[in-house]
Amino acid sequence: MEVQDWIESSTRAFFCLTGITGNFWLGLRSLPKSKSQMRPNDLLFINLAVSNLITNCLVDLPDTLAQFENNWFIGKNYCGVLQFSSDLSETSSIFSTMFISMYWHQKLVGSLRRGGAPVQMDNLRLVTVFLAGSWSVALMFSVPHFFIAEHDGNESLEVCEESFPTLADKHTFDALYLILANVVPLVGVTYASVRIVLVLMQSQKRVMDLSKGANHANNNSGSTKNKAVNNSQVRAAKSVVAVATIFIICWFSHLVLRIYSSFRKSILAVKLTNFFGASYTCFVPYVYLHGVKKLDCSCW
C-alpha cells in the first residue's frame, strides 16, 4: 500500500473509531434512569446517536477494513446493505439535527417570551411522531438500494455501484432525494440556527440594559426573572449553533458533490462526499456532550 493510501485509510479509521466512541457515548449519556424521566431532548440525542452509529458500524467500518485489506472481502451481496445503511442513517441524522435545532430555538424563545414555560416540542409524543416520520422518509429512499445496488465482480475497492433502469429514473430519484432529504433539512437547520443567534443577541442586549438600570433592580426584579435566559440553556444553544455550523459546511459540500457525482462519475468526488459525511458523524456528538455538560465518564 502506498503512502497516500495509508494516509487515506488511517484518516478513515480515525473518523470511524472516533465516531463510534462519540455516538455511543452520546446515546449512553442521554439515556434516562427510567422511562418516566425521558425528555424530548434526550430522545433527539439518542436518535441522532443511533442514526450515526448505523453509518459508523455498517458503512464506515467495513469500508475502512476493505481499504486496509485492499479488496472487497465482505461479499457481493453486502453492496445492497451498504447503500441502504448509508442513505438510511444519513437521512435520519440530517432530520435529527434539524429537530434538535428547532427544539432549542423554541426553548430559548420560551424562556424569553413565556418565562420558561413549556414549548410545543416539549411534548414527547409530538417529537416521537416527528422522528417516526423522518425514519419513514429515510426508509422510502433507502429500500430501493437493495434492488439497484450491484457488484462489478473484481477486487477493486470501487465495487458498489447502482444500476437504474434508465438514466431518467436515476436523475428523478436523485433529485427527489436531494430536495426532500438534504435541501429541506439544510434550510430548516439554517433558519433555526439564525433564529437562535438572534435570540441570544437579544438576550445579551436585555442583560446589558438591565445592568445599566441596576438602581431600579428592586422594581424590575419580576421582569428580569421572566426575560433572562438560563445559563445552561445558553450553553446548550451555543453547542447547537456550533453543530449547525459544522452541519451546514459538511452537508452543503456533501450536497454539491453528490449533485456533481449524479451527472459525472468521479472517484475523487465520491471520496470527498464520504469524507464530509464521516467528519460530521465523528465530531458532532462531542460538541453536543460538551453543550449539555455530559462530556465526562459518569454514566448517570
Q: Tens digit of pLDDT for each residue in 66-85?
A: 777 766 666 667 777 888 88
User: Which of 159-186 are b and which e, b meaning 16 or more Cβ less than 10 Å from the residue's Cβ?
Assistant: bbebeeeeeeebeebbeebeeebbeebb
**What was the pLDDT predicted at 97?**
92
pLDDT at residue 145 is higher than 50: yes
How many other β-carbons are positioned within 10 Å of the β-carbon of residue 19? 26
Most confident of 5-19, 40-54, 250-264, 276-290: 40-54
pLDDT at 20: 94
Q: Is the pLDDT of residue 225 over 50?
A: no
Residues 6+ apart with CB under 8 A from 215: none
pLDDT score of 154 more than 80: no
pLDDT of residue 222: 46
CB 40 within 8 A of CB 124: yes
> In sequence order, what are the beta bridge partners of 175?
none
Check residue 157 and give its pLDDT: 47
Q: Which of 51-55, 101-105, 247-251 has the lowest mean pLDDT?
A: 247-251
- What is the rounded CA–CA span in Å between residue 50 and residue 27? 7
DSSP state of 228: P
Burial class (CB in 10 A: 0-12, 13-18, 19+), 35: exposed
**How far apart, in whole angstroms, are the C-alpha atoms of residue 178 and residue 244?**
19
Of the candidates 290, 285, 276, the residue with the CA atom closest to the CA atom of residue 11: 276
Average pLDDT over residues 164-180: 83
Options 3.40.50.2300, 1.10.460.10, 1.10.1370.30, 1.20.1070.10; CATH for 3-291 is 1.20.1070.10
- Number of CB atoms found within 10 A of residue 234's CB: 18
* pLDDT given for residue 30 in this prediction: 93
| DSSP 8-state code for residue 216 | G
**Could you tell me which residues come within 8 angstroms of residue 94 by beta carbon, excluding any fewer than 6 positions away?**
181, 182, 185, 186, 251
Provide the pLDDT for residue 263.
72
Each domain of the chain, given as residue ranges in start order, spans 3-291
pLDDT digits (tens, 9 = 90+) for 107-125: 887 766 666 667 889 899 9
The enclosing H or E element of 134 equals helix 124-142
